[in-house]
Amino acid sequence: MDMREKVSAALKQAMKAKDAERLGTLRLVNAAIKDRDIALRGTDGEGQCGDAEVTAILSKMVKQRRESARAYEEGGRLELAEQELREIAVIEEFLPRQMTPKEVDAAIGAAIDGTGATSIRDMGRVMGALKSRHAGRMDFAAAGPKVKQRLAG
């Protein structure tokens, strides 16, 4: 079962369970996937995004909600921050398990060795290798400074 089918099945389950909050979040996810399908239809004629693109969409949605939750907390709107965090929990059900800090460090080391990177100028190649191997499982905003530190040191 691919990611699109998992989201559709969860959407139907939420409808049957009359879980309005979960249903709303899943509808947003489904709409984002369909928007991406429409955008792809215009470029290559295929019209359906694969699991990698769905994972990227979900990761982006989680990142947006984390930023919103942080802004709401800073503004004293805790009920809205909690709503964003609940949406994150629903979306993360469909994402692959996130890597632990030890796994991230090991992946960075492997990418540096694999690309033959020796200086900070090679950072783009290392990040590209990490993104191709660990899409959806690694927080690249947090990994970037670690790669930079390793290559500078």
pLDDT in tens, 31-72: 999 998 888 887 655 668 888 788 889 989 998 999 999 999
Q: What is the pLDDT of residue 45?
A: 57
101-152 CATH pick, 3.40.309.10, 3.10.310.40, 1.10.10.410, 3.50.50.60: 1.10.10.410
Given this chain, do its domains 3-92 and 101-152 carry the same CATH topology? no
Q: What mean pLDDT comes out for the span 10-39? A: 93
Q: What mean pLDDT comes out for the span 63-83? A: 95
18 to each of 8, 23, 26, how far by Cα in Å?
15, 8, 13
CA 40 to chain CA mean position, Å: 19
Domain boundaries in the chain?
A: 3-92, 101-152
Q: From CA 110, how far away is CA 116, in angstroms rounded? A: 10
Per-residue pLDDT of 116-135, as tens digits, reads 888 899 899 999 999 888 87
The reply to whether the predicted model has a pTM over 0.75 is: no
The CATH superfamily of 3-92 is Uncharacterised protein YqeY/AIM41, N-terminal domain (1.10.1510.10)
